[in-house]
Amino acid sequence: MSTTGTRSRRRREEEAHDEPDERWAVSYADMVTVLMCLFIVLFAASNIDKTKFEMLANSLATGFGQEEKDGGADTTDGLVIPPEMVDDEGVDDLTTRAVAEYESLEDLKERMRAALAAQGLQEAVEFVIDERGLNVGLIGAETFFSDNSTELSGKANAVLDAIGDVIAGAPNQVSVEGHADHRLSASPFPTNWELSGGRATQVARFLVEHEGVPGTRMKATAFSDTRPVVLGDSVEALASNRRVDIVVESDEEDQVRALIPGLVAAGSAP
């Protein structure tokens, strides 16, 4: 091969190598394609099926006792829960459990009321059902405790004996809460805390020792004069605040108990 031919071939190769390398364009096009696919997927995922959302909103509203809404729903706030995720712990289940608990507490109240009526004592207590459970208030002018005393009156013993069997037959925890009027305590009680605590203890002891309520279900609490039911210095007001509340506590979870006041306000379970 001649020297001239070799030089010509080398010159052509050098000129070819001087041209720009455009292989990067292939990788760039692949990257752009992948990004486009990513944004398409994100856009598709961000769309909300309005029909399904409204169905879910109406289902939740019905579970809480509200009427279905015909209008659109505001999707800007809140957590959207798919219907398949509303399982045994869902809204409908909470409502059902709240109704069952309300009816159970109502049954306890009516059984106590009947036992008291049989002894002519139906006016001696006040019943309140709330998110805590069934509150049985031993209230009445000089009915249960004398001034500056923790000793149960004969009428108090009769009331506790009437409702004690019902309390003993229920599985609930029982909180006995003692109260005093706002006047300063006298000997032998240093403060109203000891006085109100002594009253709660006396009621708890009676229920355990005479009515057979297990001690593991009982607790006694003192509130001193911090929670009066009647304000003023009249004889009736002071006597009403010398009281003990027996709370048959609901053993349901907080979400269920929070629904009970609404059932009470309605007058009956839906």
Q: Using CA of residue 183, residue 187, residue 191, residue 192, what is the dihedral sign? A: negative
**Pair 44, 104 in one domain:** no
pLDDT, position 142: 56
pLDDT, position 86: 47
Domain total of the chain: 2
**Pair 104, 57 in one domain:** no
**Pair 31, 108 in one domain:** no
pLDDT, position 177: 95
Give the whole-angstrom CA distance, residue 205 versus residue 215. Answer: 9
Check: CB of residue 115 under 8 Å from CB of residue 215: no
Query: Which CATH number covers residue 124?
Result: 3.30.1330.60
Residue 89 in domain: no
**Pair 56, 109 in one domain:** no
Digitized pLDDT (tens) for each residue of the chain, 270 residues in all: 555 555 566 555 555 555 556 666 667 777 778 777 777 767 666 655 566 556 655 655 555 555 555 544 444 444 344 454 445 455 678 889 999 999 999 999 999 999 999 999 988 889 999 999 999 998 754 578 888 888 988 999 999 999 999 999 999 999 999 998 899 988 899 999 999 999 999 999 999 999 999 999 999 999 999 999 889 999 888 888 888 999 999 999 999 999 999 988 887 544
pLDDT, position 11: 58
Tell me how far apart the 2 most distant CA atoms of the chain are, in Å: 137
pLDDT, position 54: 63
pLDDT, position 27: 73
**Pair 248, 133 in one domain:** yes
Return the H-helix or E-strand segment holding 95: helix 91-118
Cβ neighbours of residue 66 under 8 Å, at least 6 residues apart? none
- Angle (CA) 229-230-236 rounded to 5° is 120
**Pair 146, 225 in one domain:** yes
Residue 93 in domain: no
**Pair 124, 256 in one domain:** yes
**Pair 237, 134 in one domain:** yes
**Pair 108, 32 in one domain:** no
- Range of 22's domain? 3-61+68-74
**Pair 112, 42 in one domain:** no
